[in-house]
């Protein structure tokens, strides 16, 4: 016997009431690859959309071990103590493979997980960053409809996932450690350019002094980069996520940034740009998928590759033939 399906309207009503069980079930539909689930997910998303968009979205990145979970827990508790509702999501395209460091893992945020004003959801699994990013963006909409006013999106400081997260948040935070030697080593230029602020974590104990030195050096380094579109000069702060130090400063900084961005219109402008980016990204991905999954193309591609090996065609002529099909 088939189980009776929960109607879309029931999902929406419950999500808008802030019902976490329904929110979680809807996210599971979003993450499913089953066509029926996806259809349902899209109906729910469409109905939730008018109630979304009202949050502040904060991206947090940094290499494994820098203290992301510890920071998010401390920062998240600070936010809920101010009466905010916090959702923690993650973008980790490797999460299905690399079981060792699942982002947004609830066991790594023991305090926040029991906070009734916090909702933590690990990264959807998947090997394609595009797929994972789309699911996370849809999950943001559902969380916002459920009344979460602050969305934290965690990602690792390695690879391409920062670009994806940067393109879905209002404020992008890079966590760093004070280290001996050249402070700039190991930071990819691209990631620094994306950051609205750098937080030097673990500024406690013997490390406190080094953190202050690193702050000066990072500040100097940041001046080598062009200012942001809105004129914002990225800030460098120190914190101890473990000892909950510097967390309130970081919140005030972000709060000031958001208030100013809303006043100037930059906040909406950036979100519009991001929507356009994701529209084009989705089209690009879809076109590529349709192309490469077409059986005729698959066959022709194989034969053109063979001809290339035999020097019977050039890459450009082969591409022309394939695209002309």
**Stretch of residues binding ligand GDP (CB under 6 A), selected from 25-33, 88-96, 199-207, 290-298:** 199-207
- Contact call for residue 246 and ligand GDP (CB under 6 A): no
- Contact call for residue 67 and ligand GDP (CB under 6 A): yes
- Contact call for residue 313 and ligand GDP (CB under 6 A): no
Sequence-separated (6 or more) residues with CB below 8 Å from residue 159? 93
The two tokens of residue 223 are 């001046």
- Contact call for residue 59 and ligand GDP (CB under 6 A): no
Q: Which of 84, 149, 158, 204 binds ligand GDP (CB under 6 A)?
A: 204
CA distances from 252 to 79, 135, 172, 184, 193 (A): 11, 30, 15, 26, 22
The answer to whether 198 and 218 have CB atoms below 8 angstroms apart is: yes
**Stretch of residues binding ligand GDP (CB under 6 A), selected from 48-56, 61-69, 136-144, 259-267:** 61-69
| CB neighbour burial string for 17-30, b if at least 16 within 10 angstroms, e if fewer | eebeebbebbbebb
Q: Rounded to the nearest whole angstrom, what is the least distance from the CB of residue 264 to ligand GDP in the complex?
A: 33
Residue nearest to ligand GDP (CB): 67
- Which is nearer to ligand GDP, 40 or 215 (by Cβ)? 215
Q: Which of 55, 95, 150, 201 binds ligand GDP (CB under 6 A)?
A: 201
Task: List the one residue out of 68, 276, 84 whose CA is nearest residue 168.
Answer: 276
- Contact call for residue 62 and ligand GDP (CB under 6 A): yes
**Stretch of residues binding ligand GDP (CB under 6 A), selected from 8-16, 161-169, 219-227, 239-247:** 239-247
- 203: region left, alpha or beta (phi > 0 left; psi from -120 to 50 alpha): beta
Number of residues that bind ligand GDP (CB under 6 A): 15
- Contact call for residue 69 and ligand GDP (CB under 6 A): yes
Q: H-type helices in 49-89, by residue range?
A: 68-81
Q: Tell me the CB-side half-sphere exposure of residue 4, using CA atoms within 13 A.
A: 3
Task: Report residue 199: phi and psi, to 5°.
Answer: -110, 125
The two tokens of residue 219 are 């500040």
Q: Which of 40, 57, 77, 108 binds ligand GDP (CB under 6 A)?
A: 108
- Contact call for residue 77 and ligand GDP (CB under 6 A): no
- Contact call for residue 186 and ligand GDP (CB under 6 A): no
| Helix or strand run (H / E) with residue 91 | strand 86-91
Q: Cα 58 to the chain's mean position, in Å?
A: 8
The answer to whether 86 and 117 have CB atoms below 8 angstroms apart is: yes
Q: Rounded to the nearest whole angstrom, what is the least distance from the CB of residue 66 to ligand GDP in the complex?
A: 4
- Contact call for residue 179 and ligand GDP (CB under 6 A): no
- Contact call for residue 64 and ligand GDP (CB under 6 A): yes
Residue given tokens 């069980």 in the structure block: 21
Beta bridge partners of 200: 176, 238
Q: Which of 30, 41, 48, 66 binds ligand GDP (CB under 6 A)?
A: 66
Residue given tokens 């002094």 in the structure block: 209
- Which is nearer to ligand GDP, 208 or 221 (by Cβ)? 208
**Stretch of residues binding ligand GDP (CB under 6 A), selected from 12-20, 236-244, 251-259, 298-306:** 236-244
Summarize as ranges the residues that interact with ligand GDP (CB under 6 A): 62, 64-70, 108, 201-202, 204, 240-242
């Amino acid at each position: 016997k088939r189980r009776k399906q929960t109607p879309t309207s029931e999902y929406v009503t419950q999500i808008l009431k802030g019902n976490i069980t329904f929110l979680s079930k809807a996210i599971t539909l979003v993450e499913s690859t089953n066509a029926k689930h996806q259809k349902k997910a899209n109906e729910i998303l469409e109905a939730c959309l008018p109630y979304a968009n009202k949050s502040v979205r904060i991206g947090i990145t940094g290499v494994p071990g820098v203290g992301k979970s510890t920071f998010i827990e401390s920062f998240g508790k600070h936010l809920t103590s101010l009466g905010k509702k916090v959702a923690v999501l993650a973008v980790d395209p490797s999460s299905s493979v690399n079981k060792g460091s699942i982002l947004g893992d609830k066991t790594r945020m023991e305090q926040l997980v029991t906070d009734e004003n916090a909702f933590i959801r690990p990264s959807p699994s998947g090997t394609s960053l595009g797929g994972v990013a789309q699911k996370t963006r849809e999950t943001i909409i559902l969380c916002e409809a459920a009344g979460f006013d602050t969305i934290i999106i965690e990602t690792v400081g390695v690879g391409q996932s920062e670009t994806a997260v940067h393109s879905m948040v209002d404020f992008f935070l890079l966590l760093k450690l004070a280290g001996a030697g050249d402070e700039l080593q190991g930071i990819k230029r691209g990631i620094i350019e994306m950051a609205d602020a750098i937080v030097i974590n673990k500024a406690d104990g013997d490390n406190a002094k080094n953190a202050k030195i690193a702050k000066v050096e990072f500040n100097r380094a940041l001046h080598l980069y062009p200012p942001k579109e809105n004129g914002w000069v990225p800030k460098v702060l120190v914190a101890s996520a473990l000892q909950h130090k510097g967390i309130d400063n970081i919140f005030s900084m972000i709060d000031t940034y958001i208030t100013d961005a809303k006043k100037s219109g930059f906040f909406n402008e950036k979100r519009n740009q991001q929507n356009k980016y994701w529209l084009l990204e989705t089209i690009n991905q879809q076109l590529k998928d349709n192309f490469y999954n077409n059986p005729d193309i698959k066959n022709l591609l194989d034969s053109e590759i063979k001809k290339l090996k035999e020097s019977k065609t050039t890459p450009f002529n082969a591409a022309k033939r394939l695209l002309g099909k």
